[in-house]
């Protein structure tokens, strides 16, 4: 009986870990998922227990491997890791155990610290070198905070007793039994410590953030050698051969490897990345510059824009207002109308992200009449995802001078055919949805599979994924323009109504 060569892909996300066993012909042989505990020690603080992440990840990896074994004989040729980005773990080199809870990307405890660093004029250098902003979102200031609040840890870090890393590094450390302390450029580029131009850690940045350089992991190519997982945890020994942050892994998994290729993930929020090839494009429109992968998993660059509220607006209409039973019902409701009848919904519940960056904007619905029904609000929430996506894509194109010939899509709300057609109509370019929507795990698998020779070429990997569904643009240019103008006016109106503190 033949044995199917496969890759174990671990997608360590913010709420849970997914493990997939992916065969060389693209079939998913096994799958498992589990959530883990979120810790909120104070308002605005978010922490994870790195040891729980380790245990959950190993459990789902074993679950997926077992499901695959029950299905057919297979052999794991390599392991790919993709992860929630920016979340930082600090551990003891000797015992291998964390010395503090992981501080999660969502954690806002360093807002004041970021303001101080900005007031000291540090932002320009940080921006120029890293392509990021001084925001609590990124890992760097979380380390500053740790060392300032725990002088004992600062002393131990200086003495070389501690190691730090994002979740990818932590899992590599776990699986290799502490033999390898490494990360990849896509994760490194989210720390505020990584220099885009020289492609490595930068001591000036470490000095600004008071981070001892000795605690940082070695940066290795995303498709590369991250050591061998030891059998004690997974029951299989295999090289860890692919590593990338979740958004960059999805970009890779979607086959976006060259300048002009773009993907959007429609989840709770939306993450749009435009590949810019070898070029480091500095944004004039509030986008981030980040490291991505080229076809071979070597470092390349992308522009990234996030929309804070996307599918969450549908969630709010469902759970907050009770207008629909389930998110997929939104499709039939939107279709039940000929047009939007002038109703626009700006879901700026937490301010506006790219390209507006307006923290004080708040959500608003415009154009209500006696004829407005639940379907109008639902349709307007779906349309808002498409308008927001267009704004970010246009900003990316303006920054880079590159035009996207098509948009690849994934995430929960990309299931909505009506939305995908509307998106294609609005953008005037085809929207392409892959057969396997777990593009994040797939990307990590692709990077690993390429390195270990499971796929001979990047094209082989992509071909194994099966046929994508394509939504071609159909609407008139005039019609599109009218919608855009309506949305623009709605955004302006929502922004002019500022958030105020307190009740009236
Ligand atoms: P995340 O990874 O951010 O948790 P998912 O990719 O799982 O998000 O997507 C879930 C989001 O997508 C939810 O906010 C939900 O309201 C929305 N969603 C799911 N299915 C649909 C659908 N068919 N139409 C519109 N929105 C949807």
Show which of 192, 209, 244 is a domain's final residue: 244
Separation of 413 CA from ligand 1 center, angstroms? 4
CA angle (405, 407, 411) in 5-degree steps: 170
For ligand 1, atom 7: residue with the closest CA? 412
94 plus 197 within the same structural domain: yes
Q: pLDDT for 86-138, tens place per residue?
A: 999 999 999 999 999 999 988 888 888 999 999 999 999 999 999 998 988 89
- Identify which of 121, 240, 126, 95 has the alpha carbon closest to the alpha carbon of residue 191: 126
Give how many domains the chain has, as a whole number: 2
Domain-embedded: residue 363: yes
- Its pTM stands at 0.91
Show which of 179, 209, 244 is a domain's final residue: 244
Separation of 412 CA from ligand 1 center, angstroms? 4
Here the CATH number for the domain that contains residue 200 is 3.30.420.40
Name residues contacting ligand 1 (CB within 6 A): 267-268, 311-312, 314-315, 327-328, 330-331, 411-413, 415-416
Domain-embedded: residue 223: yes
Domain-embedded: residue 43: yes
pLDDT class of 503 with cuts at 50, 70, 90? very low
Domain-embedded: residue 438: no
Pairing state between β 88-92 and 162-166: antiparallel
Q: For residue 49, what is the DSSP state?
A: -
Show which of 214, 244, 274 is a domain's final residue: 244
Q: pLDDT for 137-196, tens place per residue?
A: 899 999 999 999 999 999 999 999 999 999 999 999 999 999 999 999 999 999 999 999
Per DSSP, helices labelled H in 270-402 are 311-315, 329-335, 374-400
Measured CA to CA, the distance from residue 195 to residue 211 in angstroms comes to 15
Element (H, E) at 477: helix 477-496
Which stretches does DSSP call E strand in 142-285? 162-166, 182-183, 194-195, 200-201, 218-219, 228-229, 238-245, 262-266, 270-277
Contact 436, 459 (CB under 8 A): no
240 plus 259 within the same structural domain: no
161 plus 269 within the same structural domain: no
Contacts of residue 158, Cβ cutoff 8 Å, sequence gap at least 6: 212, 214
CA distances from 136 to 97, 145, 268, 433 (A): 25, 10, 20, 33
Is the omega angle on the peptide bond into residue 8 within 30 degrees of 0, that is, cis?
no
Of 15, 84, 265, 268, the one to substitute when testing ligand 1's pocket (max ligand atoms within 8 A of C-beta) is 268
Measured CA to CA, the distance from residue 187 to residue 172 in angstroms comes to 13
Domain that holds residue 491: 255-433+474-504
Contacts of residue 187, Cβ cutoff 8 Å, sequence gap at least 6: 83, 85, 166, 168, 169, 243, 244, 245
Q: pLDDT averaged over the chain?
A: 93
Measured CA to CA, the distance from residue 202 to residue 336 in angstroms comes to 56
Judge whether residue 502 has pLDDT over 50: no
Domain-embedded: residue 451: no
273 plus 229 within the same structural domain: no
Separation of 210 CA from ligand 1 center, angstroms? 39
Share of the chain above pLDDT 90, in %: 82
- List the structure tokens of 152: 């004992």
278 plus 396 within the same structural domain: yes
Q: pLDDT for 446-470, tens place per residue?
A: 999 999 999 999 999 998 888 889 9
Contacts of residue 378, Cβ cutoff 8 Å, sequence gap at least 6: 314, 317, 323, 324, 330, 333, 334
CA dihedral 306, 310, 311, 312 (to 10 degrees): 100
Measured CA to CA, the distance from residue 3 to residue 75 in angstroms comes to 6
Measured CA to CA, the distance from residue 105 to residue 86 in angstroms comes to 5
233 plus 296 within the same structural domain: no
Could you identify the atom of ligand 1 that is nearest to the CA of residue 13? Answer: 2
Task: Report the pLDDT value the prediction gives residue 1, as an integer from 0 to 100.
Answer: 61
């Amino acid at each position: 009986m033949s044995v199917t060569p496969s890759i174990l892909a671990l997608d360590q996300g913010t709420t849970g870990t997914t493990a997939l066993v992916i065969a060389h012909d693209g079939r998913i042989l096994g799958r498992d998922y589990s959530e883990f505990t979120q810790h909120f020690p104070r308002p605005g603080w978010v922490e994870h227990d790195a040891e729980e992440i380790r245990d959950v990840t190993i459990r789902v990896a074993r679950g997926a491997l077992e499901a695959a074994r029950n299905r057919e004989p297979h052999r794991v040729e390599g392991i790919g890791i993709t992860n929630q980005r920016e979340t930082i773990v600090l551990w003891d080199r000797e015992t291998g155990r964390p010395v503090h809870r992981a501080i999660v990307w969502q954690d806002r405890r360093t807002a004041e610290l970021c303001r101080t660093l900005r007031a000291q004029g540090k932002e320009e250098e940080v921006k120029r070198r890293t392509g990021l902003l001084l925001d609590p979102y990124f890992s760097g200031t979380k380390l500053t905070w740790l060392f300032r609040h725990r002088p004992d840890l600062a002393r131990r870090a200086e003495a070389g007793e501690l190691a730090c890393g994002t979740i990818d590094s932590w899992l590599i450390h776990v699986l290799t039994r502490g033999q390898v302390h490494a990360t990849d450029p896509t994760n490194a580029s989210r720390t505020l410590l990584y220099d885009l131009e020289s492609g490595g850690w930068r001591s000036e940045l470490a000095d600004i953030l008071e981070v001892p350089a000795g605690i940082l992991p070695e940066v290795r190519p995303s498709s590369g050698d991250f050591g061998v997982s030891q059998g004690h945890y997974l029951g299989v020994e295999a090289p860890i051969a692919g590593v990338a942050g979740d958004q960059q892994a999805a970009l890779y998994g979607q086959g976006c490897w060259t300048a002009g290729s773009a993907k959007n993930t429609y989840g709770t929020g939306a993450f749009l990345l435009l590949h810019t090839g070898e070029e480091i494009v500095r944004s004039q429109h509030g986008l981030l510059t980040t490291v991505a992968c080229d076809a071979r998993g070597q470092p390349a660059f992308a522009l990234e824009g996030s929309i804070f509220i996307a599918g969450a607006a549908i969630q709010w209409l469902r759970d907050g207002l009770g207008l629909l039973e389930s998110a997929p019902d939104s499709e039939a409701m939107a279709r039940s109308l000929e047009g939007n009848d002038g109703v626009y919904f700006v879901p700026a519940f937490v301010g506006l992200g790219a390209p507006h960056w307006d923290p004080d904007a708040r959500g608003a619905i415009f154009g209500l009449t006696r004829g407005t029904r639940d379907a109008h609000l639902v349709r307007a929430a779906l349309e808002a995802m498409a308008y927001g996506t267009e704004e970010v894509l246009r900003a990316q194109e303006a920054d880079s001078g590159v035009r996207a010939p098509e948009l690849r899509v994934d995430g929960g709300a990309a299931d909505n055919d009506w939305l995908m057609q509307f998106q294609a109509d609005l953008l005037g370019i085809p929207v392409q949805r892959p057969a396997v929507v777990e593009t994040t795990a797939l990307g990590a698998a692709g990077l690993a599979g390429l390195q270990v020779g499971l796929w001979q070429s990047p094209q082989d990997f992509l071909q194994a994924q099966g046929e994508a569904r394509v939504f071609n643009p159909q609407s008139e240019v005039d019609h599109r323009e009218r919608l855009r103008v309506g949305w623009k006016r709605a955004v302006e109106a929502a922004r002019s109504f500022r958030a105020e503190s307190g009740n009236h």
